[in-house]
Structure 1
Amino acid sequence: MPNMPSSRDQVLIEINELLSKHGFDTSNIYDRSCFDLVARRELLLLLMKVLVNVDGFSPAHAHEIKRVSKIFLASPLLIGLKSKNEILEEDVVYERHGIPVIAPTTLHNIVVEEIYPEIFADRGGYYVQIDGQVVKEIREQQNLSLKDLADQAHVSRETIYKYETGRVRAQPDTAFLLESILNMKITLSVNLFQTPQQENSTETKEGEPRELVDLGFGVINTNRTPFDALAQPETKISKKTEPLITDLEKNRNQKVLERMATNLKDLSDVIGTDSVFIMEKKKIIESIDGIPVVHNWEIEEMKSPAEFLKMLAERRECN
């Protein structure tokens, strides 16, 4: 990405091409969602939102993408060109509402060159995280006291102690000076690909459809995604029980349901999980364009999530 793209659509196209060329499976682009693109390479699953101005990223979208990322053990990432009137700098990590933010060139450097950013922007300027254990080990190997190293780095003895114990971050110039003095790399890369921390919440017991909740599924309804809900058994059935991507009938006509089925198949393939329609109609429909269908009245007759998953597997195999 040598030249900066000028529009959001262009950025999305270039990111999709970049990831596809370097071993990622990528989804379709979803414009009216908390994420625009999903990409997977081996164990790394990315949920990405792309904006020209990252200040347009709302707290509501941040909350939703965090919820979805937690369920799928994915890493949310915001790609942007600028903040207010300032261009986002290459190899610097920013943050909006708890979501890491990078420029397209930074993503390019990570994917193509495996160069991970070490500098992050925060109130007051730019900072790096120092590997305090390395600093202490090298300092002691060189028979330097805390004061000796502090004097050479033009900081206080207390500051060096805080670096070594991980209590403070450093400004880049100070960190680079320390690296020159110790003749050793001491800065840490920013961990961009974290899964949001789980929070204590009862929201997974309050979703729809109620039939799944009553059967023993945790259900999270979503408002800004290409699907209606995520469902997962509250008790583990097997070693690997993935969340289900779920769409509800909601009096939608056949064309809308078929369009939603396309989205479900696309996302299921990239994320590596199953998807299902929950229907209210009495007429038996076993699938919509290859996506299994289970009816509310069928769920009411079941006794456990295992029965539901067994029916889902049988209807998937029939397609």
Structure 2
Amino acid sequence: MPSIMPFNRDQVLTEINDLLSKHGFDTSNIYDRSCFDLVARRELLLLLMKVLVNVDGFSIAHAEEIKRVAQIFLASPILIGLKSKNEVLEEDVVYERHGIPVISPTTLRNIVVEEIYPEIFADRGGYYVQIDGQIIKNVREEQNLSLKDLADQAHVSRETIYKYETGRVRAQPETAFLLESILDMKITLSVNLFQAPRHEKTHESREGEPRELVDLGFGVINTNRTPFDALAQPETKKSERLKKAEPLITDLEKNRNNKALTRMALNLKDLSDVIGTESVFILEKKKDVDCIDGVPVVHNWEIGEMKNPAEFLKMLAERRECN
């Protein structure tokens, strides 16, 4: 299969979508004006992907928003880029922008098609690899080599070998590959870009909109650079922490007309299908409508009559299969 050729952003997006679709991923529509362009899922793996020609155009605001969304859905955010300044991004090297990993389209292809994960990552000062210090120590001791013996063969200091073994420093690729040759053992660690990020407690906003959901007992996070308006998640009591409370993708009325709401419903349905979560419209005006193009609708006045999130979720389930 030919590799993805970096002609322009739209073409790269299309080829990435085709690549993922052919290798078992369900993919979303493409969202150009969002902190992510494409969402892809394969079993438990969920990717939030942004594609840029020049990765230096990736803003802090977009990075922070995609990180928040990724944390809530336990997704992996990835920036796909063609170049940085005037330099083409190298194959099988991981870069970074504002805490988001950056790779080239060819690197993505190698991961998806060949299951070859990159080992080298770029940072200030050059290229580095992460090494398994425990393996170095174990093999060194098995071969009856002292720290100084190994250091002399690798042309580094004894202190450097000690720092490698204790995981205190990264290694330059040349040094790591020389150590592998000396020890006759693989010591470099691959960068698993598809590993789900550690789940840290998200601080749900108590000032978010819609206020009715907040008052009912939902944590609400408003978003500015996504195809939806907010994420809402039922806040569970300590005794209920073992119960899974899935986040909801939410759009608000905001004086939008029916045509705009219908267009937004396509996005909500598309994203909820790929992500595997619920979507809902929260409408302010009293309209005789229970759903918009397959997306359930709940009105503010209905939420005001509810006692807890369970009642809201029950209504959502009742209206989920509407036509």
Name the structure 1 match of 2:309: 305
Distance 1:83 1:99 in 2: 14
Contact 1:52 1:81 in 2 (8 A): yes
Matching residue of 1:68 = 69
Deviation at 1:220, TM superposition (A): 0.4
Aligned AA (1:164)? E
Structure 2, unaligned runs of 5 or more: none
CA distance in 1, matches of 2:248, 2:278: 5
- Could you say which residue in structure 2 is the equivalent of 1:148? 149
Q: Give the conservation status (yes or no) of the 8 Å contact 1:237–1:306.
A: no
Q: What is residue 112 of structure 2 aligned with on the other side?
A: 111
Residue in 1 aligned with 2:275? 271
* 2:320 partner SS: helix
Are the structure 2 counterparts of residues 166 and 177 from structure 1 closer, same or farther at C-alpha, using a change threshold of 3 Å?
same
Query: Matched residue of 1:181: which SS?
Result: helix
Give the letter for the 2:144 counterpart.
N
Asked if 2 retains the 8 angstrom alpha-carbon contact of 1:66 and 1:196, the reply is: no
Native 8 Å contact 2:131 2:176 kept in 1: yes
Shift of 1:237: 8.0
Query: Partner of 1:83 in structure 2?
Result: 84
Counterpart Cα distance in 1 of 2:65 and 2:91:
27
Q: How does 1:1-319 map to 2 (within 5 A)?
A: 1-2=2-3, 4-196=5-197, 202-235=203-236, 236=240, 239-319=243-323
CA distance in 2: counterparts of 1:199 and 1:20, whole angstroms? 30
Matched letter for residue 20 of structure 1: S
Whole-angstrom CA distance in 1 between matches of 2:89 and 2:42: 26
| Distance of aligned partners of 1:172 and 1:238 in 2 relative to their CA distance in 1, 3 Å threshold | closer
Question: Offset of 1:216 from its aligned partner?
Answer: 0.2
- The Cα shift of 1:200 comes to 6.4
Distance 1:202 1:2, change over 3 A: closer
Q: Which amino acid aligns with 1:276?
A: V
**Compared CA separation, residues 98 and 248, structure 1 to 2 (3 A):** same
Relative to structure 2, which stretch is displaced further, 86-95 or 187-196? 187-196
Query: SS of the residue aligned with 2:160?
Result: helix
Rounded to whole Å, the distance in 2 between the matches of 1:208 and 1:198 is: 24
Q: Which moved more, 1:306-315 or 1:185-194?
A: 185-194
Q: Give the number of equivalent residue pairs.
A: 319
Whether the 8 Å contact between 2:4 and 2:105 is mirrored in structure 1 is no
Partner AA of 1:306 in structure 2: A
Query: 2:294–2:321: 8 Å Cα contact kept in structure 1?
Result: no
Of 278-287 and 28-37, more deviation after overlay is shown by 278-287
Give distance in 1, aligned partners of 2:28 and 2:155: 50
CA distance in structure 2 between the partners assigned to 1:191 and 1:174 by the alignment: 22
For 1:292 and 1:80, the matched residues in 2 are separated by 37
Task: Provide the rounded CA distance (Å) in 2 between the counterparts of 1:200 and 1:134.
Answer: 34
Structure 1 segments, 4+ long, off by >6 Å, are none
Q: After superposition, what is the alpha-carbon deviation per residue over 1:76-107, rounded to whole angstroms, capped at 9, x for unaligned?
A: 00000000000000000000000000000000
TM superposition score normalised by structure 2: 0.96
* Separation of aligned partners in 1, 2:138 and 2:198: 32
Partner secondary structure for residue 121 of structure 1:
strand
Q: Report the secondary structure of 1:317's partner residue.
A: coil
Question: Over residues 88-146 of structure 1, what are the superposed CA-to-partner deviations in whole Å (9 max), with x where a residue is unaligned?
Answer: 00000000000000000000000000000000000000000010011111111111111
Shift of 1:2: 3.1
CA distance in 2, matches of 1:39, 1:163: 36
Question: Does structure 2 retain, via aligned residues, the 8 Å contact 1:265–1:291?
Answer: yes
Q: Which whole-Å CA distance do the structure 2 matches of 1:55 and 1:71 have between them?
A: 26
Contact 1:76–1:195 under 8 Å retained in 2? no
Q: CA RMSD in A?
A: 1.4
Indicate conservation of the 8 Å contact 1:7/1:52, yes or no. yes
